[in-house]
């Protein structure tokens, strides 16, 4: 995972550079050659711009037109320490402890300053939600094919709190997402739900 705080600050500087997606258009993100991500539409009022895609790490800014909504930051990265972990529920207790500890280390917060909650999407994809006590940053995290997938939420002013409704909107977006493995030939590759 990339540094949440540092990434948030850098993304605040490029918010004016986002490009719009056609409303309702079927979109496909090719991720590191391992799998594609397909979704029907972004959360209402948001546009996306890919910030980095270098074969091992993928990041994109999903920015709102409405300043009363939080900025979303999508990050996907293979983690060799999670090799063989196909989804979050496959992670060992030691893996989960390390994942949670990484949030504290990256954000430079003391233990107890982040609230964690485990939930699932409407399709059963397991998720870990991390939120600072002051609500300044929240993250929705999962694992697919040993890749860490994280969407961070924050406001450009760094002060406005992220609400449970904002988090729910991201969970609803992930419910619509399909993961398509690209290792199989294109004519036989089939959508795979990470929660299955």
Q: Are 194 and 179 in contact (CB under 8 A)?
A: yes
Taking the domains of the chain in order of start, what are their residue ranges?
A: 4-18+27-185
pLDDT tens track for 143-173: 998 999 999 999 988 889 999 999 999 999 9
Q: Residue with structure tokens 């600072």?
A: 132
Per-residue pLDDT in tens (0 to 9) along the chain, 196 residues? 444 433 443 333 333 333 333 444 467 777 667 788 888 888 889 999 888 887 778 899 999 999 899 999 999 998 999 988 999 999 999 999 999 999 888 777 778 889 999 999 888 889 999 999 989 999 999 999 899 999 999 998 888 999 999 999 999 999 888 888 875 443 433 444 554 4
Task: Name the strands in the sheet holding 57-64, side by side, starting at the edge strand that comes first in the sequence.
Answer: 46-53, 57-64, 71-78, 147-154, 137-144, 126-132, 114-120
- In this structure, the number of other CB atoms found within 10 A of the CB of residue 26 comes to 9
Cα dihedral 75, 37, 55, 83 sign: positive
Which pLDDT belongs to residue 55?
72
CA–CA distance, 20 with 159 (Å, rounded to integer): 26
CB within 8 A of 46, min separation 6: which ones? 62, 63, 64, 65, 69, 72
What's the CATH architecture for 4-18+27-185? Answer: 3-Layer(aba) Sandwich (3.40)
- In this structure, the number of other CB atoms found within 10 A of the CB of residue 144 comes to 24
Which tokens is 137 given? 């940053």
Which pLDDT belongs to residue 107?
76
Q: Are 141 and 2 in contact (CB under 8 A)?
A: no
Q: Are 18 and 48 in contact (CB under 8 A)?
A: yes
Beta strands at 27-31 and 35-39: parallel, antiparallel or unpaired: antiparallel
pTM for this prediction:
0.77
DSSP tally for the chain: helices H, then strands E = 3, 11
Which pLDDT belongs to residue 26?
60
Supply the DSSP string of 131-144, one letter for each residue: EETTSSEEEEEEEE
Which pLDDT belongs to residue 36?
83
The Cβ-side half-sphere exposure at 143, using a 13 Å CA radius, reads 21
């Amino acid at each position: 995972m990339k540094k949440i705080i540092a990434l948030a600050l850098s993304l605040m500087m490029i918010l004016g550079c986002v490009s719009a997606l056609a409303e309702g258009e079927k979109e496909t993100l090719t991720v590191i050659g391992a799998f594609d991500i397909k979704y029907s539409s972004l959360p209402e009022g948001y546009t996306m711009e890919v910030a980095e895609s270098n074969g091992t790490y993928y990041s994109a800014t999903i920015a709102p037109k409405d300043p009363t909504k939080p900025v979303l930051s999508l990050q996907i990265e293979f983690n060799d320490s999670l090799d063989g972990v196909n989804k979050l529920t496959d992670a060992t207790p030691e893996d989960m402890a390390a994942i949670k500890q990484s949030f504290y280390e990256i954000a430079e917060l003391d233990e107890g300053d982040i609230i964690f909650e485990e939930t699932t999407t409407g399709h059963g994809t397991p998720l870990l939600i991390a939120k600072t006590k002051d609500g300044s940053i929240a993250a929705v995290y999962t694992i697919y094919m040993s890749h860490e997938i994280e969407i961070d939420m924050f406001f450009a002013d760094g002060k406005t709190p992220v609400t449970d409704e904002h988090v729910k909107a991201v969970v609803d977006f992930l419910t619509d997402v399909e993961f398509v493995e690209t290792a199989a030939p294109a004519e036989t590759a089939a959508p795979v739900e990470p929660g299955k």
